[in-house]
Amino acid sequence: MSIEARIADEQPETFKFSAENEKEIKRIVAKYPKGRQASAVMPLLDLAQRQHDNWIPMKAIELIARKLDMAEIRVLEVATFYTMFNLKPVGKYFLQACTTTPCWLRGSDEMMRCIKDRYAIASGETSECGRFSLLEVECLGACVNAPILQVNDDFYEDLDYASTAALLDSLEADAPLPVGSVMGRSGSEATSGATSLATLKPKQSGVANA
């Protein structure tokens, strides 16, 4: 997708961080050595996105550039490089579907087919109801439980056509299924269950113990 296509045509005339986020920005920037405040660009983009209904307007890019003493184009380069940053409005449920090789080998085509069958949208588009946006992304770093669909901040794993449909049903009802493996495996253990340390029982804290 071209950079122009990723940026909203309609933009707000102003953007300012909330008082709470201004405090958070001070805390984030203080973590970096003097003169290295540009290192805070990603957390600030994330704050802007969360504050602004899950997308970053160009006025926020300009503001972040001023705050971090960066050229605006450098902030925009970062915002357009990472697919997790949205530069135009997205639906309430932002679906990032991984189709990189491990997910593809484990059936991401079926996951994608289910989403497309239901909403008739391609990557980069939003459903007619306005609630679901789809983006095809590269590896989400959870290949062991492929295929993966990220819904806003959460990962759903081990999906096929039927389980993707069930997940979408739950989102439509605003009652999302529990996050993680839809086949119920714990963490990234084998699909057949634990194959080593099999006699250890997890403690309530989630830490394995004898």
Q: Does 84 bind ligand FES (CB under 6 A)?
A: no
Query: At closest approach, how far in Å is the CB of 157 from ligand FES?
Result: 9
DSSP H helices, 129-188, are 161-172
Measured CA to CA, the distance from residue 92 to residue 131 in angstroms comes to 5
Q: What residues from 111 to 150 belong to the interface with ligand FES (CB under 6 A)?
A: 139-143, 146, 148
What are the Cα distances from residue 58, in Å, to 16, 17, 50, 61? Answer: 12, 13, 15, 5
> Using an 8 Å Cβ cutoff, are 81 and 41 in contact?
no
Select 68 or 146, whichever has its Cβ closest to ligand FES. 146
- Does position 95 bind ligand FES by CB under 6 A? no
Per rule CB under 6 A, is residue 79 in the interface with ligand FES? no
Q: Does 65 bind ligand FES (CB under 6 A)?
A: no
Give the one residue of 25, 103, 114, 151 binding ligand FES; rule: CB under 6 A: 103
Residue 89 lies near ligand FES (rule: CB under 6 A)? no
Pick one of 54, 100, 126, 127: the residue that binds ligand FES (CB under 6 A): 100
3-state secondary structure 63-97: HHHHHCCCCHHHHHHHHHHCCCCCCCCCCCEEEEE
Q: What letter does residue 151 receive in the DSSP assignment? A: E
The tokens for 167 are 């997940």
Q: Give whichever of 47 and 148 is closer to ligand FES, judged by the CB atom.
A: 148
Q: Which positions touch ligand FES (CB under 6 A)?
A: 98, 100, 102-103, 139-143, 146, 148
